[in-house]
Structures are given as structure tokens and as C-alpha cells.
A and B are shown apart, each in its own frame.
Chain A
Amino acid sequence: MTAPVMAQAAPEAAVQMRKTTYIQAVNEALREEMRRDESVFILGEDVAHYGGLFRVTRGLLDEFGPQRVIDTPISEQGFMGMALGAAAVGMRPVVELMYMDFTLVAADQIFNQIAKYHYMTGGLIHLPIVVRGQQGGGKRYGSQHSQCVEGLYAHFPGIRVVVPATPYDAKGLLKSAIRDDNPVVFLEHKMLYFTRGEAPPAEVEYTVPIGLADVKRTGQDLTLVTYGYCLLQALEAADALAARYGIQVEVVDLRTVNPMDTDTIWESVAKTGRLLAVHESYANCGVGAEVVARAYEEAPHLLRAPARRLGMAPVSIPVSKPLEDEILPWKQQIMAAVLEMMRA
């Protein structure tokens, strides 16, 4: 795994890495940022005593108390609006949505208010808000608890959209998000929480800058652009393709969907000439469509074959396991798409 950004952002080259889980990494980022800055506070449903439905905020109430880790009434639109108010006067709220699907319950506050406030106040008011939570399928949670919403967020100007896949990136990017003066949506995935990866020990300071992609696997045949949980699926697919067909896929982890680091993508496509964008959210009008469109606008000369995208088909996400398996654009579908492009 090459990691130019990590090397640049990590404190000392000689830090001893350790294995940690994604959930632990997110928890540590919250804890360390709350220690570092007293204006950082957490609000959401069941985040305090219970430590969050997925246990991401576990232990934070004990350390920071009920004024900084707040269990709200069930009222997404309500607490999103309150986060705006608190941020406008200097606080740094980290809002947990229990399921990112409930973005839609709070959509008016998020898109009509938070995303535009800085602009509409002529730059007078900053909203350093982080909206975070888990999204995605794989757990049979059905149509209203399994959607991926990064494309929705990225559609609107004014919000930065971060979708980290590894514990290292999750911790470093969440720290950056909390310190950022823009509203940032930080998207976790329910299938990522217990995945493990290398990261510096707790309390060893590092951040990962927002807006930089990272090449997670090198290869010369095809550039696969992805992020979030699909990164893990893409890496597995890439290994299988290499072992079985000798195809070497280069996997670019976008990490941030808005702003998008197209330089890193074009650098890779310059080498491979083939571009496939993959994500779990809907293919229709999605991030992959954006990647492909930009390729034709900004770097058409690099493409030796038609660029493609792979995402969820335009259907509601089923609750039945066999049906959900069928529809998630994971390893098998990724392999099929790559093979098709390589054979074309």
C-alpha cells in the first residue's frame, strides 16, 4: 500500500504501528479532539449512556460528561438545527445520525441551512459541524436503513464529504473534519466497524487531510476508483483478478468525495488507460457518473477504452439476504465489470 499522504501527515517516521479496529479509530478521534478542544461536543440519539447504537461513542460520556455528550430526543431535524445554532456561536458540534438514511429527516436543516449559511451570511458565520454516522447495506436492514448517501451530500455545494475505508484514514480524517471550519459529513459503513488495520497508537498525533485520494494498490492494467466499504471489496476483487487472470488493477481510494482529488486519478489513468469507478450508492446520477464525466471533460486523451461506473442498480434495497446479496455491487460484480472492460 503506497501512502504519500500518510507519510507526509504522520508525525515521526519511526512510529510503531499497531492493529486497531475502525470503530476504535473513530472513537479515539472523537476522544482526542474533545480533549484537545473544549468547544467540541457530541449530540445524537442514544450516544451518551448507551454509547451509540453501534457503540462508536462508547465511554465518552464518562470522560466528558452530559454537557458534551448529549442524548437528544428523537428529532433529527431538531438537533440538526440546534447544531447550526451552536456552531454559529463558536461551538464545534459532532452530530451523530443513527442511520445516515435519516439525513432525509433533517434534510431542510442540512441542505437549505447548514450548506448555505456561510455563503448567505457573506462569510461572516462559520459552521464547523461534523455530521457523522454509518450507512450502507450488508446487514439486511432494508430499504430505509441501508442506503449510501454520499452522492446526495456531494450534489450540494457547501458540504465536504468524507468516506474513509481504513482505521488509519478514519481517525486521521475525522480529526481533520472536526478541525475544519466547513460543514463536513463523515460517512462510516456498518460493515467496516469491526475491520482492522494499522494505525499509530492512541495519542500519537496525526491527521489525514481532506481532499486527497490515496493509491491503495498499484497496477498497470486498469484504474479502479472507489472509497468506503467498496474499497475492501475492490481490493479483494483486484487480488482475485491478479491471481486468476493476471490482471493488475490499480485501486485509488478517493477518501474524500467532495472535493474530489482528480489529479491522483488522472495520474493513474495516464498509466493504465482504463477507468472504472465503483461505489455502493446508486449508479444513477452518482459519484461514479461524476468521475466518468470529469474524465471525459478533463482527461479524455488518457482513456484508451470507454470509462465505466459500477454502482447499485436503481431499486430499493431489499431486506431478504439472497436479494440483498444479489444487488450489492461488491466483489463479484466488480470482478465481472473489470473482466468485461479488459476483454473489450
Chain B
Amino acid sequence: MAYPFPTEIHRVVDPEGNLVGDPPELSPEQHRKLYYWMVFGRMWSERMVALQRQGRMGTFAPHVGQEAQAGIASPLRQDDWLLGTYRECIAYFVKGLSPLAPMATHRGYFSRGYTRELGLVPLQIVIGNQMLHAVGVAMAMQYEGTDRVAVGVCGDGATSQGDFHEALNFAAVFQAPFIAVVQNNQYAISVPRQRQAAVEYLAYRGPAFGIPGYIVDGNDVLAVHKVVQECVERARAGEGPSLVELLTYRMGAHTTADDPTKYRSDEEVAHWQARDPIKRYRIFLLRQEILSNEEDEALHEQATADLQRCVEEFEAMPPPRPEEIFEHVFETPPPNLLRQRDEILGTP
């Protein structure tokens, strides 16, 4: 299969909120759902950072600035699969994950809330791994003869891993129903995008493997939705995988253990501040009269209340039982493990 290097940057709404492309077909209900998760997602991320600062939460990777990732999940059906990283919480929420789930992870409940029915596995933290997992899932879907698809999401840094390249190659050779989405937020911790790969756009990787590549304004949720939707439809129809690069920016630190002022300038941050994904979507929704100012306010209040409930539930969550450490090492604990458990926990 021969595909040209992509040249167009897909965009539906520009940074000022003007309509500059054909919007995807979404009901007002769907629009409000997308917008809600973006608004909630930002509040949630800020709250997670605050909780971490108070010593009530572990290391956390904020996603402020990358809320248009909601559009990665909105074209998916519940029975499709989504495999992402610590940076993809909002996409996971849109797919159905409870916001309590990533918080529970910090308490030590690693997989609470992630279910087969939701088509989600726990967020990956070893860079690049999930891309191969997603291709495996996609090939299983293909083998089962369903029209379900798998989406793998990674950062720009992850595209340097062999896993990423192997994933694209496998998916192309087997025409797997797989969509690779790269959230290019311009940095991998301190290392800028240009030091990660010498190509101008990471989407160029697609054609090299015989896969179409798309470049998308990653702060434009409607463009994200529209392009991913197109890729999902192709995959469902048995027309193979695609690669989507979202051009976005991580407004905050890499994690709560990072200080981004060490490696990037205020001007650069200001440049991206002006391209805020929530602000532009809000202007669009108001102008299209999909949302009124009053409804916007009510939605913010709703999100605030939902978040508060979430934090309270998290705080009320007891630490896991010590026995749990030993419970899932194997399906059934072998005798030597039980012996060690009894030795350590002092049970008979």
C-alpha cells in the first residue's frame, strides 16, 4: 500500500472559535458530553495535583492543555478497545471509566474500575508497550470476525521505542483494525519533540509502514473526533490501520515530580495558552447555540459537585488488606508463597 506524506493539518474550529472546517455530525447531547468531560477533566487534573501536594495522592501526570483527547474516545463504541497511558485519563473517562479508578490506583487498587465491558485496560506507564498490546487486541478482534477496533494512544516520546515501530509494522502487514494515536504534546519530560525524531511530523511514520498518516490540530476536539472517526470506519470496514498525530501541548508539568520552567520558556507556554482547547470549543458551542451561558454555568457546577463526590469517595477508601499483596501473583498461590505470606503477615 502506498500512501503519500500527509500535508494537511486537520482543523474544524480555529483557536478563536471560528468554524474553519466541516464539523462532524454530533447531536447536542454528544457535544455536551464531550464538553463536560473536557471541563471535568481539567478540574480533576488540577485537584489531583493539589491532593499530591498535600501528600494525599501519589505521583500524578497532569493533562491540562490536552483535553481535546476526549475526541479520541468519542467515535468509539463501548465494545471497542482503548489502550493508553497515564496521560489519557480524559479519553478513558469518555469511554466510560470512573474518574475514581485512576485515583484508586494510587491507593493500591490497580485495576479497580477497568473492565472488559468498557474495553479498557489499566493505564500504561512503561513507555511504548501498549501500542503492541493494542495491535494484539486488534488482531484478536479481526480473528473473532467482529467489526470491533482497537485504539492505541502514546506520546511523542514513545514513537522512538521499537514497540511503536513494531506495532505499526504488524498492524500494516496484517491489516489489523488498529488506530495509533500520538498525543504529540511537544515534550517527553524535558526532551523536546525535535530531539525525539528528525521528521517534521510524526504522522510521516505511517506511510513508511504502508499506513495513512493524519496530522490534526490536537487542541480542536471536533477535528480529533472527525479524523479518528474516519480511521475507525476504515478499520471496521477491514481497510486496515491508520496513524493519527495530534499536535497539542502539555500546559503543566510532566508529573508532580517535575519543574517545566527548567526546560521551556514562558513565551512558548503563552503561545499555547492562546490555543486552549476548552476555550475554543466553548466559543463554538455558544455561537452554534448548542450551549447557553446558563447551561455552561450549570455544567461547571455539576462538574464541581461530581468532582467533590469523587474526592470524598477516594478519601473514604481504606488501604488494601495486606493479604492482597500475595493474592494475584498467580491464579492460585503455590504452597511456598502461602508459607511466605504467613511468615510475613504472621498469620498461622
Residues of A within 8 A of B (CB): 45-46, 49-50, 53, 71, 73-75, 77-78, 102, 105, 140-142, 144-145, 313-316, 318-323, 326-327, 333
Contact = CB atoms under 8 A, between A and B. Distances in A.
26 contacts: A50-B189, A53-B257, A71-B190, A71-B191, A73-B157, A73-B160, A74-B127, A74-B161, A77-B162, A78-B160, A78-B162, A105-B126, A140-B58, A140-B59, A142-B110, A144-B126, A315-B325, A315-B326, A315-B329, A318-B108, A319-B110, A321-B319, A323-B108, A326-B322, A327-B344, A333-B344
Which 3 residue pairs spanning A and B have beta carbons closest together?
A320-B108, A73-B160, A50-B190
Interface in B304-342: 319-320, 322, 324-326, 329, 336-337, 340-341
Contacts of A140: 58-59
Interface residues of B, number: 39
Contacts of B161: 74-75, 105
A290 to B, nearest CB: 18
Contacts of B341: 313
A327 B197 CA distance: 41
Interface string B185-219: 00011110001110000000000000000000000
Nearest to B109: A320
Given A50-B190, A74-B196, A322-B319, A314 B340 contact: yes
A150 to B, nearest CB: 20
B126 A319 contact: no
A234 B160 CA distance: 41
Contacts of A71: 190-191, 195
B61 to A, nearest CB: 13
Given A50-B263, A74-B158, A141 B127 contact: no
B195 A73 contact: yes
A74 B105 contact: no
B153 to A, nearest CB: 15
Contacts of A327: 325, 344
B106 interface: yes
A53 B189 contact: yes
B107 interface: yes
Contacts of B125: 142, 144-145
B271 interface: no
Given A320-B107, A327-B325, 13 more contacts: A46-B188, A46-B189, A50-B262, A73-B195, A145-B125, A313-B337, A314-B337, A314-B340, A316-B329, A318-B324, A320-B319, A322-B322, A327-B344
A193 to B, nearest CB: 13
Nearest to B124: A144
A326 B319 CA distance: 12
A53 B162 CA distance: 22
Contacts of A102: 126
B128 interface: yes
B3 to A, nearest CB: 24
Interface in B87-139: 105-108, 110, 125-128
A322 B322 CA distance: 8
B344 A313 contact: yes
A141 B160 CA distance: 24
Contacts of B59: 140-141
Interface of B: 58-59, 105-108, 110, 125-128, 157-158, 160-162, 188-191, 195-197, 257, 262-263, 319-320, 322, 324-326, 329, 336-337, 340-341, 344-345
A13 B196 CA distance: 49
B32 to A, nearest CB: 35
A29 B127 CA distance: 30
A46 B158 CA distance: 14
Contacts of A319: 58, 105-106, 108, 110
A318 B160 contact: no
**Most chain B beta-carbon neighbours within 10 Å: one of A45, A320, A323:** A320
Nearest to A99: B126
Nearest to B337: A314
B329 A314 contact: yes
Contacts of A73: 157, 160, 191, 195-197
A326 B323 CA distance: 10
A314 B257 CA distance: 29
Contacts of A321: 108, 319
**Most chain B beta-carbon neighbours within 10 Å: one of A46, A73, A316, A323:** A73
Nearest to A333: B344
B198 to A, nearest CB: 10
A191 B256 CA distance: 18
B340 to A, nearest CB: 5
Contacts of B340: 313-314
A333 B197 CA distance: 48
A104 to B, nearest CB: 9
Given A50-B263, A318-B108, A323 B196 contact: no
A184 B20 CA distance: 58
Nearest to B329: A315
B217 to A, nearest CB: 25
A155 to B, nearest CB: 20
Contact of A318 (B128, B263, B320): B320
Contact of B128 (A74, A141, A316): A74
B325 to A, nearest CB: 5
Contacts of B108: 318-323
Contacts of A75: 160-162
A326 B189 contact: no
Nearest to A284: B336
Nearest to A321: B319
A7 to B, nearest CB: 40
Contacts of B337: 313-315
**Most chain B beta-carbon neighbours within 10 Å: one of A49, A53, A74, A314:** A74
A323 B162 contact: no
Nearest to A101: B126
A78 B324 CA distance: 37
Nearest to A320: B108
Nearest to B262: A50
Contacts of B344: 313, 326-327, 333
Nearest to A140: B58
B19 to A, nearest CB: 37
Contact of A313 (B127, B160, B324, B326): B326
Contacts of B322: 322-323, 326
